[in-house]
Amino acid sequence: MIAAAGVGSVAATAALASTAIALADAPVAAPAAATPAAKGDSIALTNKQALKIFSGRANIELAQEIADLLEVPLGKVSIQGYADGEIGIQVMENVRGKQVYIIQPTCPPGVNDHLVELLLMISTMRRASANKITAVIPYYGYARQDRKMASRVPISAADVARLCESMGVDRVVAVDLHCGQIQGFFGPRTPCDNLEGQVVGLDYFAGLGLNSETTKVISPDAGGVYRAKRFRDGLQERGVDAGLAMIIKQRIRANAIGRMDLVGSVEGSDVIIVDDMIDTAGTLTQAASELKERGANRVYAFATHGVFSGPAYQRIAQSELEKVVVCNTIPLDKRQHHGNKIVQLSIARLLAEAIGRIHSQASVSALFAGDKRDD
Residues with a catalytic annotation lie at 249
Q: What per-residue string of b and e applies to 192-211 under the rule 16 or more CB within 10 Å gives b?
A: bbbbbbbbbbbeebbeeebe
Q: What per-residue string of b and e applies to 324-355 under the rule 16 or more CB within 10 Å gives b?
A: bbbbbbbbbbeeeebeebbbbbbbbbbbbbbb
Amino acid residing at 349: R
Decide: residue 58, CB within 10 A, 0-12 exposed, 13-18 middle, 19+ buried.
buried
Judge whether 194 and 180 are in contact, CB under 8 Å.
yes
Residues 6+ apart with CB under 8 A from 251: 257, 258
| Cross-strand partners of 101 | 53, 134
Give the Cα separation of 205 and 300 in Å (integer).
9
Pairing of strands 215-219, 192-195: unpaired
The closest alpha carbon to 120, from 131, 107, 104, belongs to 104
| Cross-strand partners of 193 | 173
Residues 6+ apart with CB under 8 A from 191: 171, 172
Judge whether 69 and 354 are in contact, CB under 8 Å.
no
